């Protein structure tokens, strides 16, 4: 009797173990099925250049996706991982690209079991940046303002103007002008100071490099000014002319009185002027200024101040 019971127990154990084995085998089969059902790649991958150095990669959503992996190749090279977008996002901006270069992108889906297969590659070429404006001119329009003009750039939407104290100095952004305008008045400047300008074009494809510089046409005052008594009521002035000058202004300082305008001499005439009708024994001092083109382009006062007593 005991032997029979033992045999039954053994049979039961075998049956039980067989059931467990079948169950484990079934579970293994289910796990294997789950691992093999990785989410497929997204469809309709689209690459849209947004500027000269970046593109927007977009695709259709995948229902099971937790995130997407974006891969990039350059000029037909191998695909390399570029970035991740977490669902429900279905796009990624890829920046720091090179202008006028072919880029291809593919996207893989991750549903929590790892990256699935890659989508078909979609390619685009980054656009070319616009050229910088040319024919830059900086005209002195008043003692404290300069008008900057330049040639239009095709497809430009805006122009950025940069300023420096010298042609080869450091340029800083000061203002902008919306296309189709190709001019900007820069005010609040220091009289007779040098200002140089560069212009940059902005377009849907990005910004150009900076243009060549243009400086305001400030003009220097006359040099080597002399004042010589010629009679008891006259003083003769002489000076060295300035290239680009059209006229010279003479300013007089009589002892104990403010400086006043005395007269002018055309640059085409000899560089000399005689002050008449002076008071004998009184000191008179003089400073000259140059005028260029336009007429608002007037220099500072000549130094040193020269004096004489008739």
pLDDT at 142: 78
Residue 124 has pLDDT above 70, yes or no: yes
Q: Are 54 and 93 in contact (CB under 8 A)?
A: yes
- Is the peptide bond prior to 294 cis by the omega test (within 30 degrees of 0)? yes
CA angle, corner 85, sides to 80 and 90, nearest 5?
Answer: 110
Mean pLDDT of 234-257: 94
pLDDT of 203 > 70? The answer is yes
Distances (CA, A) of 2 to 8, 12, 14: 10, 15, 18
C-alpha–C-alpha distance, residues 145 and 194, integer Å:
11
Contact 275, 287 (CB under 8 A): no
- Type and span of the H or E element at 24: helix 2-36
pLDDT band (50, 70, 90) for residue 19: very low
Does the pLDDT value for residue 24 go beyond 60?
A: no
Q: Are 288 and 241 in contact (CB under 8 A)?
A: no
Q: 40: closest CA among 64, 5, 16?
A: 64
Sheet containing 306-308: order of strands: 260-266, 247-254, 284-291, 306-308
pTM of the model: 0.53
């Amino acid at each position: 009797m005991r032997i029979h019971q033992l045999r039954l127990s053994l049979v039961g154990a075998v049956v039980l173990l067989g059931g467990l084995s079948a169950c484990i085998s079934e579970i293994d089969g289910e796990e294997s099925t789950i691992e093999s059902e990785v989410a497929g790649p997204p469809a309709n991958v689209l690459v849209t250049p947004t500027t000269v150095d970046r593109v927007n990669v977009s695709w259709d959503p995948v229902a099971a996706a937790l995130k997407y992996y974006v891969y990039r190749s350059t000029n037909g090279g191998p695909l390399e991982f570029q970035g991740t977008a977490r669902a429900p996002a279905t796009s990624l901006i890829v920046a720091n690209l090179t202008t006028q270069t072919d880029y291809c992108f593919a996207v893989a889906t991750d549903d929590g079991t790892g990256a699935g297969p890659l989508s078909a590659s979609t390619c685009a070429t980054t656009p070319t940046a616009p050229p910088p404006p040319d024919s830059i001119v900086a005209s002195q329009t008043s003692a404290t303002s300069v008008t900057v003009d330049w040639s239009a750039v095709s497809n430009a939407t805006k122009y950025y103007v940069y300023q420096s104290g010298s042609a080869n100095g450091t340029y800083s952004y000061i203002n902008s002008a919306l296309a189709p305008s190709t001019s900007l008045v820069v005010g609040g400047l220091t009289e007779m100071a040098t200002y140089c300008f560069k212009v940059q074009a902005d377009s849907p494809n990005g910004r150009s490099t900076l243009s060549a510089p243009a400086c305001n046409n400030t003009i220097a005052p006359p040099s080597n000014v002399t004042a010589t008594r010629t009679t008891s009521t006259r003083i003769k002035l002489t000076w060295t002319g300035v290239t680009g000058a059209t006229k010279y202004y003479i300013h007089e300082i009589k002892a104990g009185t403010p400086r006043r305008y005395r007269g002018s001499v055309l640059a085409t005439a000899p560089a000399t002027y005689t002050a008449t009708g002076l008071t004998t024994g009184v000191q008179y001092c003089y400073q000259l200024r140059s005028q260029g083109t336009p007429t608002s382009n007037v220099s500072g006062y000549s130094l040193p101040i020269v004096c004489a007593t008739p």
